[in-house]
Structure 1
Amino acid sequence: MGIIILLIVGGVIGWLASLIMRTDAQQGIFLNIVVGIVGSVLAGLLLSPVLGTPPVTAGVISLSTIVVSLLGAVVLLAAVNLIRRGSIR
């Protein structure tokens, strides 16, 4: 059940991040899920200990974990845009 929740939350977070970064037209649902999950994991490893929130991969879904995961997905999309185009949009 945890994997299904992670996929759903990752998809929503990836979709929101792609809307924020204006890359939604270029991505499909699969890439939204991948960006959301990878961004969540990276933010969980890097930002969660600093902010004192549990990562979304721990199974705790709260407002703070979603905000940290969304921030990680946005940073991941910005890095991908920077590498791909040379600019962050």
Structure 2
Amino acid sequence: MDLISLGIFLLIGAVAGWLAGLLMRGGGFGLLGNILVGIVGAVIGGFLFGLAGISLGGGMIGSLITAVIGAAVLLLVVGLIKKA
């Protein structure tokens, strides 16, 4: 992975984490928190879409949508665990 790919990866993670934060609780988590939530969300989203047999394509938009949905699922699960 070259430096540009790493930058794009981190940018998609940050945007996905920020968007998921807005959707699920009304705010972001700071730059590092957004990146972490977005990256973990991308893994979760890729896993869930793979199980369902859904592919959004290999471009940046598909990756961003997958990461946002996965991050939203992550935040939902974390919120449910915190309430329990």
TM-score using structure 1 length? 0.75
Identity over aligned pairs, percent: 38
1:61 paired to 2:60: yes
Moved over 2 A (4+): 52-55
Partner of 1:82: 80
Distance in 1, Cα, partners of 2:12 & 2:54: 20
CA RMSD of aligned residues (A): 2.0
Work out the number of aligned pairs and report it: 80
- Alpha-carbon distance, 1:23 to partner: 5.1
C-alpha distance in 2, partners of 1:65/1:76?
16
- Offset, 1:24: 2.1
Mark the runs of 5 or more structure 2 residues left unpaired by the alignment: none
Q: TM-score, with normalisation over the residues of structure 2?
A: 0.79
- Stretches of structure 1 that go unaligned for 5 or more consecutive residues are none
Give the Cα separation in 1 of the matches to 2:9 and 2:45.
14
